[in-house]
Amino acid sequence: MSPSDLFDVAEAQARKEAGMARAASARASLLAIAQEHARKIAQAKVTVTSDDVADYMERHGLDYSALGNASGSVFRGDFEWTGQVIASQRPSTHGRIIRVWRLKT
Contact 42, 103 (CB under 8 A): yes
Query: What are the φ and ψ backbone dihedral angles of 58, each rounded to 5 degrees?
Result: -60, -40
Tell me the whole-structure pTM to 2 decimals. 0.79
State the Cα–Cα distance between residues 57 and 38, nearest whole angstrom.
Answer: 10
- The predicted structure's pLDDT at residue 4: 64
pLDDT given for residue 26 in this prediction: 53
Cβ proximity of 27 and 67 under 8 Å: yes
Per-residue pLDDT of the chain (105 residues; tens, 9 = 90+): 565 678 889 888 888 777 777 756 657 899 999 999 999 999 999 999 999 999 999 999 999 999 988 898 999 999 999 999 999 999 999 999 999 999 998
Q: Which domains does the chain have, with CATH numbers?
A: 3-103 (1.10.10)
Q: Which residues contact 71 (CB under 8 A, 6 or more apart)?
A: 34, 50, 64
Pairwise CA distance, residues 53 & 9, whole Å? 31
pLDDT of residue 96: 94
**pLDDT of the residue at 64:** 93
Return the DSSP state at 53.
H
